[in-house]
Amino acid sequence: MARSRAVYDATYRRKHHEAIAARNRQYYADHREQRRRYDREHYKQHAAAMNAKHAAYYRANPEKFAAYAAVHAALAHGELTRHPCEVCGSTERMCAHHDDYSKPLDVRWLCERHHRRLHLSLAI
């Protein structure tokens, strides 16, 4: 039985993830100004809807928002410092990951890539 196109595409993307990511990074680097212009225009056209969506998210997730705000404030006041990624050791584009939002300053430091993978339930 032939696999569907969607299954094939998903399998291909998983198998060639690194090459696709490298190609995308290069494209965005080569077209940075064009992307920035597009993003600014898109925001102007959709600012109200985007702000409403963000406000609804914060209202629906007050514990997450409080934990995020606590980390932001602690970083600003020097009470918390960023550490290298627990997985790869990178210091670029670091994210504070909360395993438990009731402990807002108990965070794991992950680079953006590994933080995204963790949330997508991919193996780190």
**110 DSSP 8-state letter:** E
Cβ atoms 108, 100 nearer than 8 A: no
Report the predicted TM-score, pTM, of the whole model to 2 decimal places. Answer: 0.64
Of 41, 29, 46, 21, the C-alpha closest to 113 is 21
Q: What is the pLDDT along the chain (124 residues), one digit of tens a residue?
A: 457 888 989 999 999 999 999 999 999 999 999 999 999 999 999 999 999 999 999 999 999 999 999 999 999 999 999 999 999 999 999 999 999 999 999 999 999 999 998 988 754 4
76 phi/psi in degrees, rounded to 5: -65, -35
Give the start-to-end residue ranges of the domains of the chain.
1-60, 62-124
Ranges assigned E (strand) in the chain: 94-98, 107-111
